[in-house]
Amino acid sequence: MDTGIIVLVVAILIAICFAGYLIIIFNGLIRLKNNIEKSWANIDVLLKQRTDEIPRLVECVKGYMKHEREVLQRVTEARTAFLNARTMREKAGSSEMIGGALKTLFAVAENYPNLKANENFMQLQKRISGLESEIADRREFFNDSVNNYNIRRESFPDLLIAGIMRYGRRDLFEVSEADRATVNVSF
Amino acid sequence: MDNLLVYSLIGLGFGVFLFFRAFGWLKSKRLIENIPTSKIRSIAMGLVEVYGKVVPFRGEVLKSPFTVRDCVYSRFSIEEYRSSGKHSRWVTVRKGVDFIPFYIEDETGSVLVDPKGAGVEILRDNEFKSGFMKDPPEDVKRFLRRSGMDFEGFFSVNKTMRYRESFIEPGDMLYVMGTAGDNPFVEEGTVEGGAQDIMIGRGKERFFYISDRPEKRVLGLLRWKVIGGFFGGGLLILLCLWLVLFYSHFWSFAKF
């Protein structure tokens, strides 16, 4: 009789452990997935803020950089591409274009002392540089979130639940070699 | 024999508590593992994890209760060793917590933290003892005088007491996981944004944890709690249950 009760209690404890663990895994995977969406939304906000600064920047520099039509055109085209982007991948690609175009613009601006001394330009440059740094931090955070998610969904026993929930692998927000490289401008 | 039954029932209750508490620790462990550490400069609203150095907010600091060191958070306990019959144990005669908001600073910026409602796990900084022919240190005596407490008993013989304090000092490295929300100390639109607009506290996520250990050690501690909770709690349940059953058989046999 006693042995029967003890065995029953052991079985109940194991069942509770099993059920509780499954619930924690399930909720954990949902949280991880939501973390990715949220961290992407947090990047998106900054990308939009940076894009919103571009018309002001172009307006500010075009008087000084009359002979740099190509540079300004690249910035404007990149902005248009971002505004037309719908998916996460398209937005990531166009945001890299904007980053590259802005880098070139600021590098070219070095050659225009009057522009560099313009207070409005200095403010915009500071604001955009600040946004770039925040975007870089949040991209790192996003990639960490994606990495945590991918590791979890490929680890046992989480992969069993992830399979049932049809949670697929997610892509990192990678920076291209071109964007990582220093901008060289020849005059 | 009656005592054995009472202890077994208490053990059974504690085992059940420990077993179910382990789920909470497991949930916390996974939550900490799942959330990456944010750089303070780019912190976003919601549940966040940061690690950095403690800096006083507006230069304000508290004093630790016994050693009067500058701090932003402190807690203390005063325990007395009491005996009754064959049993003796430590009884807490007074304890307290005090805190003020403070900044956490990393290489990218600083953010305000209000520790109200946080689960704070910090190492003990000081422990003092007093007893027969041994007075507590002067700092502790001063605190006792201020609080209207006495370390002496009958005929001015010292009671056996211990005094413990833990605190968070400016410059300490702290791990914080909590909800980033609006900073109530900043008026809307008076700062450029970023982390200055934000304060970490106990928000709707309800998980708010502060530790003076880095994340890896926090996770290590939680791992042991989970293992201890499941296995220790489970074994305690089985052992106490066996004792209760054994006792009930013994009782029915004795009655017969």
Q: Report, as an integer, the average pLDDT of A87-111.
A: 87
User: To 5 degrees, how large is the angle CA A41–CA B48–CA B74?
Assistant: 160
pLDDT surpasses 90 at A32: yes
pLDDT band (50, 70, 90) for residue A182: very low
CATH number of this structure's domain A2-180: 1.20.1440.20
The phi-psi region of residue B133 (left if phi > 0; otherwise alpha if psi is between -120 and 50; otherwise beta) is: left
Query: In the prediction, which pLDDT does A183 show?
Result: 42
User: How do B173-182 and B46-56 pair as beta strands?
Assistant: antiparallel
Distances (CA, A) of B57 to A21, B102, B105, B176, B199: 41, 5, 11, 16, 12
- A137–B39 CB contact, under 8 Å: yes
Location of structure tokens 């066996």: B242
Separation CA A184–CA A2 (nearest Å): 82
pLDDT surpasses 80 at A177: no
Contacts of B34 in chain A (CB under 8 A): 28, 31-32, 35, 148, 152
- B44–A138 CB contact, under 8 Å: yes
Distances (CA, A) of A5 to A13, A32, B233, B246: 12, 40, 17, 12
Query: In the prediction, which pLDDT does B133 show?
Result: 81
The closest alpha carbon to B50, from B35, B65, B62, belongs to B35
Distance from CA of B27 to the nearest CA of A (A): 6
Radius of gyration of the CA atoms of chain A, in A: 25
The CB density around residue A135, as the number of other CB atoms within 10 Å, is 23
- B230–A17 CB contact, under 8 Å: yes
What is the b/e burial string over B182-192, where b = at least 16 CB atoms within 10 angstroms of the residue's CB?
Answer: ebeeeeeeeee
Indicate the length of chain A as a whole number. 187
Domain ranges of chain A: 2-180
How do residues A121-170 score in pLDDT, each as one tens digit? Answer: 888 888 888 898 889 889 999 999 999 999 999 998 889 999 988 888 98
How crowded is the C-beta side of A2, counted as CA atoms within 13 Å? 13
Distance from CA of B254 to the nearest CA of A (A): 18
Low-confidence residues of chain B: pLDDT under 50: none
Q: Report, as an integer, the average pLDDT of A68-95.
A: 87
| Six token digits for residue B29 | 């462990």
pLDDT surpasses 90 at A95: no
Distance from CA of A186 to the nearest CA of B (A): 33
Separation CA B70–CA B54 (nearest Å): 12
Select the residue of A17, A39, A133 nearest B41 (Cβ to Cβ).
A133
Query: Using CB atoms and an 8 Å cut-off, which of residues 35-94 of chain B contact chain A?
Result: 35-39, 41-42, 44, 46
Query: In the prediction, which pLDDT does A186 show?
Result: 40
pLDDT band (50, 70, 90) for residue A185: very low
Check: complex ipTM more than 0.85: no
Select the residue of B26, B42, B246 nearest A138 (Cβ to Cβ).
B42
For residue A157, say if its preceding peptide bond is cis, omega within 30 degrees of 0: yes
Using the Cβ of B244 and the Cβ atoms of chain A, whether some distance falls under 8 Å is answered with: no
How do residues B79-111 score in pLDDT, each as one tens digit? Answer: 999 888 778 889 999 999 999 999 999 999 999
Query: In the prediction, which pLDDT does A187 show?
Result: 37
Q: Report, as an integer, the average pLDDT of A39-50.
A: 91
Query: In the prediction, which pLDDT does B1 show?
Result: 58
Q: What is the pTM of this model?
A: 0.81
